[in-house]
Amino acid sequence: MKSPSLRIVDLRAAAAALLASLCIAVAGPAAAAPAGLENVKCLSCHDGSKDAIEVPGTDGESRELHSIPPDAFAKGVHAKMDCVACHTEITDNAEPDDTHKKDPALKAKDCASCHEELWERARQDGTAKDRPRLGVVAENIAAYKESFHARKNADDPTRPNASCDECHSSHSFNVPPKDSPQYAEWRLGVPETCGKSCHEESLETFTESIHGEAIFQKKDAKAAVCSDCHSAHAVGNTSLAPFKLAVTAECGNCHEENFKSYKATYHGQITTLGYAYTAKCFDCHGSHDVLAVKNPDSKVHPDNRMKTCKECHNGKKDLPEAPPGFASFQPHGHTGDFERYPQMWLANQLMIQLLLGTFGFFWLHTLLWFWRELRDRQQGKVPPHMRADAPGLQGDKHAGKHFRRFSATWRIAHLTFALSLMILTLTGIPLFYPDAPWAAPLMKALGGPQVAGLIHRVNAVIFAAVFFWHLGYVALKLARNWKEFRIFGPTSLVPGLQDGKDFIAMLKWFFGKGERPVFDRWTYWEKFDYWAPFWGVTIIGVSGLLMWASTITATFLPGWVFNVAAIFHSEEAFLAVVFLFTVHSFNNHFRPDKFPLEVVMFTGSMSVEEYRREHALEYERLQKSGELEKYIVDAPSRPMALGSKILGFTLIVAGLTLLTLVAIGFFGSH
């Protein structure tokens, strides 16, 4: 992709080529120069063949005028113009020893005003659309006026830091056509144009760099020159965020693979989102002094990396001093090269297999279930959401009653778990998909990366706290009732042989080879939903903690651990979000028998009839043991039922919104 600055440079040639004809065609036939002020006469003194011409400078000291080689002038875009068309204040042809008389009422035309006038006339007479490149010149002028070059010079406030003719040499300006040998030669001269005029020290440093070596020694016109990084006209303050962000993107125009891998790091993600406070290409590699990695003087040479890292991670402000492990972090590591980055390759392969296995199995399971349940519903085999007072239940002592399935404690824990996970998703996905169209606005709405990071970590603590509270609660309960507990019993969440039998029976039902199976307290998919967070929280939690406590991690572990942790963290988070808002939501809300919402996790209870239908084995067991009555409760009050529906729908809408954002980010980045 061509950068804006390169486009501007490329367009200058065409724009400049038009100017000579525009000066005549737009303004009409030009009046001939006054006698004695023809170009031949002017060049007879100013062609540099005689002694240098000196004139008084603004500082009181004499200054030497630039000579105008006739051959260069003849090839320039202004060759057909008279000298006095620009130098309008000159009214005589005095010899060099004298001083030209100048009309005080006239002022020499400057490049910008002349070109702006041409563009304005083209717009007024309706020919602007036929001269689009003239509009580009006008845009360049507008950019220049806002640039660092247009500011008043600190030493001489009467002139700008750099004027048009200092870079373009108005007497010989003529950028050759792109892709021509002459154009390549012109590009090779850009560094000297900038350096010899004003930026001598930068030129000296640049000459010794890998870019300068390519330009001056290898004559590689594709290598970076000043205008590629600083732009041609919109030269900005290099200490401000817009420049830092723009120059990083400029690096990516040449170093595409390295730029892609950089954008996958935290530094690059924050940069892509439009924030300039993390490390950019030039922070690590240098700017004018970029050297090859193998060069002992390079900032990224293995012997110098710690020093480079400590330029930012120096123990000041919010960044602790960089520990040794930072030096082995791979800012350009990627998962496609086993030989160079084996740890990243293996981590990625492991997560890919986990994703494919989980989604492949459960999405197929979901589709088959949807198809079978829809068919049964159409045939009247599955009465959805049967009311407790429906015909057949009238007269039953449990008519209108509910079965208490979840206590208030479990419901609060579930809700806290769900909310914290959604917030973690909301604050994490802008980093995972920083190029997505919604990423930057979302990050801004969250208050920026630092605020979003704080929110993310707070909810990570809440998420983990609920998980560990659950472990403690279960451990305590098992300790109190260990004699009655049966690891593969009907109330246990530990998968057993019966779950395998239930799964096979479910498959038979899917394909019409058997009746719909009946279940005990927990179904096999509910057990999977229960155990999935154990590996999910472990993977996400440990990897997140390693990156959060980066200084401690890198004190004891090598830097590639961060590369691997980022893969585990992001891919497992992707798995959790997509699974929850597709498979889990289908199992509990979206299948025909439950659509559009199941509120048992919000009310804590379900109608006795629905419970008897979905958990027939537990119902029969409790009924035989006489324990059923202690689980029978009144139906939720009207406000409770309404509030549960509102809460449920709100969470579903939020979840589907997050899933949509993830889908846009995923498909937009692949």
Question: 72: pLDDT confidence band, cut at 50, 70 and 90?
Answer: confident
Q: What angle do CA 552, 556, 562 make, to 5 degrees?
A: 70
Q: Are the beta carbons of 86 and 114 closer than 8 angstroms?
A: yes
Cα dihedral 236, 240, 246, 247, rounded to 10, equals 80
* End-to-end C-alpha distance for the chain, whole angstroms: 18
pLDDT score of 96: 54
Indicate the SS3 state at residue 90: strand
Question: 14: pLDDT confidence band, cut at 50, 70 and 90?
Answer: very low
Q: H-type helices in 295-406, by residue range?
A: 305-309, 342-378
Type of residue at 666 = F
Element (H, E) at 63: strand 62-64
Whether residue 442 is predicted with pLDDT greater than 60 in this model: the reply is yes
C-alpha distances out from residue 632 to 134, 333, 398, 496, Å: 83, 59, 8, 28
Instruction: For residues 118-131, give the mean pLDDT.
Output: 89
Q: Is 92 left (phi over 0), alpha (psi -120 to 50) or beta?
A: beta
Q: Percentage of residues in the chain with pLDDT exceeding 70?
A: 92
* CA-CA-CA-CA torsion sign (26, 27, 31, 33): negative
- What is the token pair recorded at 430? 């802008």
Q: Are the beta carbons of 534 and 543 closer than 8 angstroms?
A: no
- Please indicate whether residue 4 or residue 646 has the higher confidence score (pLDDT): 646
Indicate the SS3 state at residue 56: strand
Neighbouring residues of 582: CB distance < 8 A, sequence distance ≥ 6:
363, 366, 659
Closest CA relative to residue 161, chosen from 89, 226, 237, 106: 237
Cα gap 23→41, rounded to integer Å: 22
Taking each helix axis from N to C end, the angle separating 638-668 and 408-432, rounded to the nearest 10 degrees, works out to 20
Instruction: For residues 485-512, give the mean pLDDT.
Output: 95
Whether residue 225 is predicted with pLDDT greater than 80 in this model: the reply is yes
Neighbouring residues of 336: CB distance < 8 A, sequence distance ≥ 6:
345
pLDDT score of 173: 81
Q: What are phi and psi of 605, to 5 degrees?
A: -140, 165
pTM exceeds 0.85: no
Question: Could you report the per-residue pLDDT of 85-106, keeping only the tens digit for each?
Answer: 888 888 888 765 556 777 777 7
Cα gap 422→419, rounded to integer Å: 5
Closest CA relative to residue 534, chosen from 462, 468, 472: 468
Q: Are the beta carbons of 244 and 280 closer than 8 angstroms?
A: yes
404: β partners: 605
Q: Are the beta carbons of 434 and 267 closer than 8 angstroms?
A: no
pLDDT score of 98: 57
* CA-CA-CA-CA torsion sign (444, 450, 456, 459): negative
Question: Could you report the per-residue pLDDT of 210-221, keeping only the tens digit for each?
Answer: 999 999 999 999
pLDDT score of 79: 84
Question: Could you report the per-residue pLDDT of 339-361, keeping only the tens digit for each?
Answer: 999 999 999 999 999 999 999 99
Question: Could you report the per-residue pLDDT of 598-626, keeping only the tens digit for each?
Answer: 999 999 999 999 999 999 999 999 999 99
Element (H, E) at 284: helix 281-285
Q: Report the range of poorest mean pLDDT among 74-83, 193-202, 503-512, 595-604.
A: 74-83
Type of residue at 580 = L
- What is the token pair recorded at 19? 């100017």
63: β partners: 55
Residue 328: DSSP 8-state = G
Question: 17: pLDDT confidence band, cut at 50, 70 and 90?
Answer: very low
Indicate the SS3 state at residue 102: strand
Q: Are the beta carbons of 536 and 576 closer than 8 angstroms?
A: yes
Whether residue 26 is predicted with pLDDT greater than 60 in this model: the reply is no
Neighbouring residues of 496: CB distance < 8 A, sequence distance ≥ 6:
487, 488
Whether residue 584 is predicted with pLDDT greater than 90 in this model: the reply is yes
pLDDT score of 385: 45
Instruction: For residues 429-442, give the mean pLDDT.
Output: 97
Cα gap 18→20, rounded to integer Å: 6
Cα gap 330→328, rounded to integer Å: 6
Q: Is 206 exposed, middle or buried (0-12, 13-18, 19+ CB in 10 A)?
A: buried
pLDDT score of 394: 43
pLDDT score of 183: 87
Q: Report the range of poorest mean pLDDT among 33-37, 116-120, 193-197, 593-597.
A: 33-37
Structural domains of the chain, with CATH: 4-55+63-175 (no CATH), 237-318 (no CATH), 399-668 (1.20.950.20)
Instruction: For residues 218-242, give the mean pLDDT.
Output: 92
Whether residue 29 is predicted with pLDDT greater than 80 in this model: the reply is no
C-alpha distances out from residue 32 to 84, 94, 172, Å: 10, 19, 21
Cα gap 35→92, rounded to integer Å: 9
Neighbouring residues of 350: CB distance < 8 A, sequence distance ≥ 6:
none
Question: 387: pLDDT confidence band, cut at 50, 70 and 90?
Answer: very low
Q: Report the range of poorest mean pLDDT among 46-55, 116-125, 381-390.
A: 381-390
- CB neighbourhood size of 296 (10 A): 9
pLDDT score of 383: 53
C-alpha distances out from residue 519 to 369, 524, 606, Å: 16, 9, 16
Taking each helix axis from N to C end, the angle separating 111-124 and 4-25, rounded to the nearest 10 degrees, works out to 70
Residue 80: DSSP 8-state = T
Cα gap 229→286, rounded to integer Å: 13
pLDDT score of 4: 40
Q: Are the beta carbons of 107 and 88 closer than 8 angstroms?
A: yes
Cα gap 429→663, rounded to integer Å: 11
pLDDT score of 408: 95
Q: Report the range of poorest mean pLDDT among 31-35, 195-199, 274-278, 572-576.
A: 31-35
Indicate the SS3 state at residue 450: helix
Long-range contacts (CB closer than 8 Å, 24 or more residues apart) made by 259-263: 260/334, 261/331, 261/332, 261/333, 261/334, 262/331, 262/332, 263/434, 263/435
Cα gap 482→475, rounded to integer Å: 10
Question: Could you report the per-residue pLDDT of 256-304, keeping only the tens digit for each?
Answer: 999 999 999 999 999 999 999 999 999 999 999 999 999 999 999 999 9
Question: Could you report the per-residue pLDDT of 303-317, keeping only the tens digit for each?
Answer: 999 999 999 999 987
Instruction: For residues 147-175, give the mean pLDDT.
Output: 86
Cα gap 476→110, rounded to integer Å: 86
Question: 318: pLDDT confidence band, cut at 50, 70 and 90?
Answer: confident
Question: Could you report the per-residue pLDDT of 402-428, keeping only the tens digit for each?
Answer: 999 999 999 999 999 999 999 999 999
Cα gap 226→207, rounded to integer Å: 12
- What is the token pair recorded at 549? 């406590």
Cα gap 488→498, rounded to integer Å: 9
Q: Are the beta carbons of 588 and 594 closer than 8 angstroms?
A: yes
Q: Are the beta carbons of 14 and 142 closer than 8 angstroms?
A: no
Whether residue 41 is predicted with pLDDT greater than 70 in this model: the reply is yes
* CA-CA-CA-CA torsion sign (311, 316, 318, 320): positive
Q: What are phi and psi of 402, to 5 degrees?
A: -120, 160
